[in-house]
Amino acid sequence: MGILSLLTDYALILIDLLQYVCVLLIIFYLLFQTGVLKKIEISGRQKTNIKEIALILLLFGFLAILASKSAFKVGDATACGPGMEAKANVRDLPPLIAGLLGGPVAGIGAGLISGLYRLYEGGVTAVPCSIATFLAGVSGGILFYITKKKFLRPLHAAIYAGSYEIFHLGLVLLITRPFDCAFGLVKILFIPMVAANSFGLFLFAFMIRRAMNYQVIKEKKDKIEAELHTAHEIQINMLPRIFPPFPDRKEFDLYAYMKPAKEVGGDFYDFFFVDRNKICVVIGDVSDKGVPAALFMTIVKTLLKTEALRNKPLNEVLQRVNDILHPDNESGSFVTVFCAVLDTEAGEITFANGGHLAPVICCDGSAEFVKIDTNYILGCLPEATFTQQKLGMKPGETLFLYTDGATEANNVQREMFTSSRLIGALKKSHARDKDMKSLVHDVVDEIAAFSGDAEQYDDITILALHYRGNRP
């Protein structure tokens, strides 16, 4: 029965101490999550400032006082006389944590506050317990520099807290008199106080480590997002964005639009003069999404413009670009391309297709797909050949180019926008005789209205070229 009674006492003391440990952890967690302790140095990369040190000192000094006030009274100690009760507590934990978080100043300050309060409470163990509590803060501050301002690992923290509590109880045996009184107190408090302090600092170290990992992950995430934002800006700046692009040329109107599904995408467009009266327009769609597609897109766009500016037949341009891409294309990426040149004097479009979707010709409320040769996609097959075709362009007609992100846009019911809806949107908009910017945004608005709250999963790119004719 004696052993059972002792075990019951140990269990009750330990449960009470762990309740306080949980309160301590909850308070820290709430302060950390609400931003009060967000900037506390826990990773060794920043300098803890005076304001943060003062906050740690006062906070954990208060928590140490709370630990003293909520101490578990065990009962009259065997050899200490009437009214001399053993008080189980985890008072050393707050100043120890303060030192580990804020350094010697924070640890000493919290330990001093706690130690003076313990001395004020009095009792046979007042002196050794006050000294031990003060030294807890000092030791935490020393460890702050020994560990290079990095909080202890959970297992190391548990071992250290347990060892320190053994030291604390050793001081009680050394200073408290009579010895029988001290021994009676240590006997009943040893196991629960060592276990509670070890477990408390273990959990606290675990939380700190999780917070450190969260900060590291957040920093990496922020860095990646910043790099992706920069990549997005670089990609957007590579595409012509000033409209109208050639305000002195009245023979045509041109507008282009791109909305990547991610920060960066694989779609692209371009337009430039190959000679005074011939403007080349290009639209392309690289396989895959994100950064790899954006890098491949940059290469393809540059090659297409370089080759097209040689004013060679467009089928030879596509063939040359394919021949350059294929040998070093170990990733297996590919791109669909539609390339066209409008002769503003003759009103004729010459074009070549590389596996891209058929464009649409719009005029006076009508819209129909252009019959084209599909040909091969670029980048996959060696020595692929392409055909060049021609199409007469009358004044008032518009050549509408797009990528599959437009026709395959989904709504929440997983239905696609489809080519037929695209034709309907073009007929409705073009019948109003709008400029190309209005036409493109009318179509984009139709796609957005259809998609609703559904997430965009593919890049959407559109280019519209309207031929006014060779007017004076």
Domain 2-223 CATH class label: mainly alpha
Ranges for all domains in the chain classified under CATH 3.60.40.10? 240-467
pLDDT value, residue 386? 97
Q: Sheet containing 398-402: which strands, arranged edge to edge? A: 252-259, 460-467, 398-402, 360-363, 366-369
Domain 240-467 maps to which CATH number in 3.40.47.10, 3.60.40.10, 3.30.470.10, 3.40.50.150? 3.60.40.10
* Pairing status of strand 72-76 against strand 267-275: unpaired
* Pairing status of strand 278-286 against strand 267-275: antiparallel
Of these ranges, 7-16, 177-186, 242-251, the one predicted with the greatest mean pLDDT is: 242-251
The candidate with the shortest Cα–Cα distance to 91, out of 6, 141, 161, is 161
Residue 34 has pLDDT above 70, yes or no: no
The confidence band for 369, taking pLDDT boundaries of 50, 70 and 90, is very high
Residue 341 and residue 279 in contact, taking contact as beta carbons nearer than 8 Å:
yes
Nearest-angstrom CA–CA distance, 308 and 283: 13
Per-residue DSSP letters for 88-144?
Answer: E--TTHHHHHHHHHH-HHHHHHHHHHHHHHHHHH-STTHHHHHHHHHHHHHHHHHHH
Tokens representing 261 are 């599904």
* AA identity, residue 457: Y
pLDDT tens column, 79-124: 565 555 667 778 888 899 889 888 899 999 999 999 999 888 888 8
Q: Give the CA distances from residue 44 to residues 102, 103, 409, in Å, rounded to whole numbers and listed in that order.
A: 11, 11, 48
* AA identity, residue 343: D
Nearest-angstrom CA–CA distance, 461 and 373: 21
Ranges for all domains in the chain classified under CATH 1.10.1760.20? 2-223
Nearest-angstrom CA–CA distance, 207 and 213: 10
pLDDT tens column, 328-367: 888 888 999 999 999 999 999 999 999 999 999 998 889 9
The candidate with the shortest Cα–Cα distance to 391, out of 400, 402, 382, is 400
Question: What's the average model confidence in pLDDT over 152-178?
Answer: 90
